[in-house]
Chain A
Amino acid sequence: MPLVPSHTLRPARSIYVAVCAAFLVSLALRPAAAADAATLTLYSAQHHQVVDQLTQSFTKETGIPVRVHSGEAPEIANQIAQEGARSPADVYFTENSPELTLLDEKGLLAKIDPATLAQVPAKYSAADGKWVGVLARENVLAFNPAMIRENQLPASLMDLAKPAWKGKVAIAPSDADFLPLVQAVVALKGKAAAMDWLKGLKQNAQVFSDDEGVVAAVDRGAVATGIINNYYWARLRTEEGVDKLHSQIHHFANGDVGGLINVSGAAVLASSKNPEAAQRFVAYLVSKPVQTMLGKGDIDFEYPLAKGVAPNPLLKPFSELQPPQISMAQLGDDRQAAQLLRQAGLI
């Protein structure tokens, strides 16, 4: 074998030097992974745009650094349940109430400060005071006016399971936002009716993995209607621009189950090693200035739940909504809903 001339090795050495230097520099600059005692650990299943905004302003105001672990709501709830007393989480901030109810049932939550609870109408928080409602979203039907006329839209969510709707509706059964809706149908119409409804949807619906996918499909004309939370439509509208938008939303009225309000809430973990900062963060979420900021900005499109705070003008005024009468306790913990979805073959 001919020996490799030494000059061919030289570029390699300079690359090594460069790589080693880059390694050392990044090692030095590396953000501290381990949390010190003062850092608050937030498990979040809320939209990361909202969470970024909130954690940054919280840190600026209080000097308490926050590190965030994000995921889908039931995933995080089950994760906290598995981690148990060892969980590094201090606060859980999530999109829907059932995950919080689940953790409450397992005895993993601490009581929220009464002053914090007082900021929000009592019906949007846990009856036992273990979590507080922060924001709310409305379930709506997104539709594409080029594919369906407004007067053809259903009066009730239950209609979408009828044969006439075959191929005309999109759903995202594995999105955490769909589970409370199933649970609401069970609570208001009974388990058998809920199962029939889901079986009808299995026949009729195009299935997507999340609400973002549903609203995008309706907007591009792949399907006439889709069950979503109003948040996603407002978000698409802002991102794409009003002139490029091809979809509208239909509100279910007269207390129909389709108009269900999903409550996004926050809780302090009983296992928190930093309960004081955790309570402070939760109080911060429902404080007037923060709620006003959320209502005003074009980052979040949810209804602030604190008393006397106006929502984003893009949304239909909260007082004009006609949601079904259902309590947080009736919405339960998602487990039955997931089981029904599995039996119906939707997940």
Chain B
Amino acid sequence: MTEAVASGPASRQRASRRQPPAALLVLALIGPLIVLLPLAFTLFEAARVDGAEAVELLARPLVGELLVNTIGLVLAATVAAATIGTAAAWLVERTDLPGYRAWGVLAAVPLAVPPFVSSYAWVSLSPGLQDFAGAWLVVTCSYYPLVYLPVAAALRGLDPALEETARSLGCGSCACFRSVVLPQLRPALLGGMLLVALNVLVEFGAFALLRFRTFTTELYAEYRTGFDGPGASLLAAVLLLLCLACLFAEVKVRGGAGYARLGRGVRRRAARLKLGLTTLPALAGFAALAMTTLGVPLGMIAYWLTQHGAAAISPAEASVSLLIDATISSLWLGLSGAAVTVALALPLGFVAVRYQSRFVTLLERMAYLAQGVPGIVVALALISLTIRAAYPLYQTTPLLIAAYAIVFLPLALVSVRAALSQAQRGLEEAGRSLGLGWAAVAWRVLLPLIGPGLGAAAALVFVSIVTELTATLLLAPIGTQTLATQVWADTSTLAFAAAAPYAALMMALSLLSTWLLARRFAATRFVS
């Protein structure tokens, strides 16, 4: 930065146009390219289907039914998640609700419960939920934190002065919320809602276990009845377009809207509203929320752990070794997947932070496209590609890890990029000027600076892989069972008791990692 200050705007411009070293650029390209691969392949395959056949396949009554099911559920879940998420955020951040800190944590934890595990719990509690109502319940419970977290953060960041002004001008508390607070929350709220919509669109395991038919479950049915037929690629293309529309809307909302606060000075904390008589209903609401989102899944797993389903249990002497095998596979896949994904995200994040240009922004956006590509589409595309053109990779662990890297690259990139943008270049330059080579600078200066961020990225990817079902189910090499595929195999054959130990271990891993992450995150926040 010093040279830019010394010689003015012209050289700053030159600095921003610096070209990254070719080797670095090549490394940065890998991530975006493997993300594009399944996407392009699916669209290409769909376009190759003969016109008349395509019309026949797409104009099936079934496709209409799927559209109604999928879009109906997306709308219902998004609205429900927005309502619950906003209400919970407001109560936690802005009222004197007893124990608001604890409720704040409890409201975020359901994100660590994979939807197919909560659907396992609900289905085994009452088969009556195998319907729209059950699907609605499960996805709302799993995804409302995607609204709660950003809205709570936005509420914390709001300047109370605006509200106080409104109140002093005679607005009631409801009117004030509606006309002052809500508009300011809009970017966070809309962004969160679109994330919920996107997640509902790509969800597979929960709906399959709830026997609710959406595009993802039907894609799986196509695969089961034909392995690699033309019908699947068309359905996948329709689903892809729905997802990408959501993704673009989300990017627009996040990028375009924002409410600036002019003026300097320290922002006060907003005064907490006294709930008074409404304290009890609010507490009851939170208790019910925690019960539905955490109590039922954890409780049902605990219940089935104590049951001995005679038909459920495979021969008893084998289940312990199966359990250990599945745990080791899950851990191994999670760790190697996290390592590969972060390794792909690192050069891309570095180029994005240090060498901004249109081309680099394009690369970054390509990587983020992965958010809009459902796991089942990635898996089906990789199977078709390898069986036709890269048979040595077919049914191998590297292929499964590539699928993880594609699906979770955006997740890793966000954390890696954040860590890199906080590491000042001046420190590296100081290191270079004191005679260190670039490798030594990377090891002794950069790595300690971005280490915690990389760790967080890896941990996030690890948790996501351990609880991932779709790609694992379709791509796991012969003989590899993970915790997730075991829960799936047992639950889909109604063997609830047999699924319980796997589900319990998976939940323990997921909650533990989330807790470690949250603790670290909280610790650094307090330090700074």
Contacts and interface: CB of A to CB of B under 8 A. Distances in A.
Contact of A19 (B225, B311, B322, B335): B335
A82 B387 contact: yes
Interface in B209-258: 211, 213, 217, 221, 223-229
Given A56-B318, A72-B225, A86 B391 contact: yes
8 contacts: A47-B493, A75-B224, A75-B226, A78-B228, A216-B211, A219-B127, A220-B128, A222-B130
A113 interface: no
Contact of B311 (A27, A74, A299, A345): A299
A47 B492 CA distance: 10
Nearest to A238: B311
A137 to B, nearest CB: 14
A72 B130 CA distance: 21
A238 to B, nearest CB: 4
B397 A26 contact: no
A79 interface: yes
Nearest to B383: A79
A235 B227 contact: no
A220 B126 CA distance: 9
A214 B528 CA distance: 57
A217 B130 contact: yes
Interface in B425-468: 448-449, 451-452, 455, 458
Interface in A35-94: 35, 41, 47-49, 52-53, 56-57, 67-72, 74-79, 82-83, 86, 88
Interface size class of A (residues with CB under 8 A): 35 or more
Contacts of B161: none
A299 B313 CA distance: 8
A16 B462 CA distance: 13
B62 A82 contact: no
B61 interface: yes
A178 B459 CA distance: 44
Contacts of B452: 8-9, 12
Given A49-B312, A216-B494, A236-B494, 20 more contacts: A4-B527, A8-B527, A9-B451, A11-B520, A12-B451, A15-B516, A31-B329, A74-B224, A77-B227, A78-B226, A79-B228, A174-B224, A176-B225, A207-B213, A212-B494, A238-B310, A345-B61, A345-B62, A347-B221, A347-B225
Contacts of B325: 31
B314 interface: yes
A209 B527 contact: no
Nearest to A2: B528
A68 B228 CA distance: 21
A26 B449 contact: no
B445 to A, nearest CB: 11
A30 interface: yes
Nearest to B384: A82
A174 to B, nearest CB: 4
Interface string B162-191: 000000000000000000000000000000
B380 to A, nearest CB: 11
A29 B325 CA distance: 9
A8 B526 CA distance: 10
- Nearest 6 Cβ contacts at the A-B interface: A67-B479, A78-B227, A72-B224, A238-B311, A213-B211, A52-B314
A89 B255 CA distance: 51
Contact of B315 (A53, A71, A209, A342): A53
B11 interface: no
A266 B523 CA distance: 59
A1 interface: yes
Contacts of A276: none
Given A56-B315, A68-B479, A69-B478, A33 B397 contact: yes
A209 B213 contact: yes
Contact of B227 (A74, A86, A208, A238): A74
A239 B332 CA distance: 33
Given A75-B225, A174-B221, A49 B493 contact: yes
Nearest to A175: B224
Nearest to B322: A52
Q: Of B211, B311, B335, B422, which is in contact with the most chain A CB atoms at under 10 Å from its CB?
A: B311
B479 A5 contact: no
Interface in B77-107: none
B299 interface: no
Contacts of A298: 310-311
B7 interface: no
A33 B478 CA distance: 8
A59 B325 CA distance: 17
Contacts of A16: 451, 455
A226 to B, nearest CB: 12
Given A1-B424, A30-B329, A239-B311, A68 B478 contact: yes
Given A19-B458, A208-B211, A345-B62, A174 B225 contact: yes
Q: Of B60, B332, B523, which is in contact with the most chain A CB atoms at under 10 Å from its CB?
A: B332
A147 interface: no
Contacts of A48: 314, 489, 493
A68 B486 CA distance: 13
A284 B479 CA distance: 20
B225 A338 contact: yes
B524 interface: yes
Given A33-B477, A53-B315, A174-B225, A239 B331 contact: no
Contacts of A174: 221, 224-225
Nearest to A237: B311
Q: Of A12, A23, A208, A209, which is in contact with the most chain B CB atoms at under 10 Å from its CB?
A: A209
B495 interface: yes
A345 B59 CA distance: 10
B226 A338 contact: yes
A52 B331 contact: no
Contacts of B528: 2, 4
A33 B314 contact: no
A4 B479 contact: no
A82 B227 contact: yes
A194 B382 CA distance: 37
Contacts of A26: 328, 331-332, 335
B221 A239 contact: no
Contact of B128 (A9, A86, A222): A222
B514 interface: no
A256 interface: no
B309 interface: yes
B225 A49 contact: no
Contacts of B422: 1
B426 to A, nearest CB: 9
Interface in A288-347: 298-299, 338, 342, 345-347
Contact of A239 (B477, B479, B495): B495
B292 interface: no
B478 A41 contact: yes
B496 interface: yes
Contacts of A27: 332
A38 to B, nearest CB: 14
A12 B520 contact: yes
B356 interface: no
B480 interface: yes
B208 interface: yes
Contacts of A56: 315, 318
A52 B228 CA distance: 27
Contacts of A235: 311, 493-494
A88 B477 CA distance: 11
B246 to A, nearest CB: 25
Interface in A174-228: 174, 176, 207-210, 212-213, 216-217, 219-220, 222
Interface in B22-46: none
